[in-house]
Amino acid sequence: MDFLSGFRPIRRATTIAGLFTDELMNYLINLFPVFISDCYLGIFQNAIEPLPATHNMSPCSYLRRLLYKLSVSSAFIHICFSLVKIAQKGERTDMAPGKPARTLPPRLKLEEVVPYLNLPSNRDGFVSLWDFKQRKNLVIFFHHGVGCRYCDNKLRELAQNYEEMQKLEAEVLAVSFDDPEQTREYAEKAQIPFLILSDTDGKATEKFTHKDEDRGGPFPSVFIIDRFGALQYQKIAVESAELPDAKEVSSWLLLIQCECPECSHL
């Protein structure tokens, strides 16, 4: 049984998170991935500090104290991560200024296996999510299409940070209603290094997110999935500019790697 599973009763019992304001929930969601990553790095630095020559404590006592500190710190980090997920389950889409309020409830549940997806790509042939199962974590970006200015900016931002995400054993996939020829031309022009998939009939999109009927494409959405196909993060927005930036996405990927040290090279 993994360490985090011991805190599932705490996660279910902590319904007080539902009393948080939307602003506080968003603050927690945006803050904790970076905070937890820094905590892990601090713990490891502490673990490798040598025993001072003037220290009166015996090596065995020092080791026991160090192990205790590590276990308490790890428990605290996992509890914080659980609270973030509780808050995230109630998260709603950020609304663009001047637009009427619209509720876009998530279609998927955190920690459950995501739906099967098999779509044509800009490099010919079909790409399935199961092509990456047990090998890669995934970042899936649904967007309005290559003609959208905000989506173009987000695609280029992900492209600039693609190498860093690969180091975290992750692959990036973009999905829109554009046909493969459009995505092929765009990827060559914009030098997009990852695959862009075409969901021309919108059936795959409906399993993950919502259609923007006014714009003729999916509402901009980000899904972060671990190597076992389980959803770890999701956000649906009105515009791509409202989605997490590449730094925050990388923080979530680092957190996934830290939670599964046996599958990670970190």
Closest CA to 246 of 33, 4, 6, 20: 33
Average pLDDT of the residues in 90-95: 39
For the chain, give the percent of residues with pLDDT over 90. 55
pLDDT at 139 over 80: yes
Residues constituting the chain: 266
Model confidence over 45-71: pLDDT tens digits? Answer: 554 455 555 556 666 676 667 666 666
Q: Whole-angstrom Cα distance, residue 144 to residue 254?
A: 28
Residues 6 or more apart from 221 whose CB is under 8 A from it? 140, 141, 142, 208, 209, 234, 235, 236, 237, 243
Angle at Cα 53 formed by Cα 49 and Cα 55, nearest 5°? 85
Residue with tokens 């975290």: 168
179: helix, strand or coil: coil
HSE (side-chain half, CA atoms, 13 Å) at 104: 24
Amino acid at 120: P
Residue 18's identity, in one-letter code, is: G
**In terms of pLDDT, which residue wins out, 230 or 40?**
230
**pLDDT digit string, tens, across residues 157-201:** 999 999 999 999 999 999 999 999 999 999 999 999 999 999 999
